[in-house]
Amino acid sequence: MSAAPLIDQRLSERLLASEMTLRVFLNGHQIRTPLIVLDYNRDGIAFISSAHLGSRQNIRLSLALDDHQVGPVEATVHNCRKLKTGDYRCGIQFRADSPKQLDRKKIMIGLELLENTLRINQGYSNTILS
């Protein structure tokens, strides 16, 4: 029996998100390492961390951009690979539809709002706020 395939986050456009702040929680404890956010969309986020996260590990995230804050968001580590610098590039998939996710609708709207804010900040003229 094969494992269920992970959804390809790249079905949605990824937006540069260096101005976004991120906190990662593992087993209820915040990972206290500098995080550099790379890109984002309402389905997931990529960042660089000095801490290794195991593939398919469940985590919680809190995200902020401008005056918007979202979290805690249930998520799963899609991949985490070591870079030449010794840091790790982590790809995370949000699981806002998880039974563990509190305030699902609010979280999903918040993730979409962050994406739309990034689009506006980056000058996308065809932004649709849904």
- Please indicate, yes or no, if residue 22 is contained in any of the structural domains: yes
The answer to whether position 112 is within a domain reads yes
Residue 99: inside a domain: yes
| pLDDT confidence tier of residue 56, bands split at 50, 70 and 90 | very high
**Does the residue 125 lie in any domain?**
no
Is residue 69 domain-resident?
yes
In this structure, is residue 5 part of a structural domain?
no
Over the stretch 65-115, which tens digit does the pLDDT of each residue have?
999 999 999 999 999 999 999 999 999 999 999 999 999 999 999 999 999
**Residue 13: predicted pLDDT:** 82
Residue 79 pLDDT: 96
What distance in Å separates the CA atoms of residue 40 and residue 63, rounded to the nearest whole number?
11
HSE (CB half, 13 Å, CA atoms) of 105?
Answer: 0
How many domains is the chain partitioned into structurally?
Answer: 1
Cβ of 82: how many Cβ atoms within 10 Å? Answer: 10
Radius of gyration of the chain from its Cα atoms, rounded to whole angstroms:
14
What CATH number did the domain enclosing 15 receive?
2.40.10.220
pLDDT at residue 2, as a whole number = 42
Q: What is the mean pLDDT of the chain?
A: 88
Q: Which domain holds residue 43?
A: 11-119
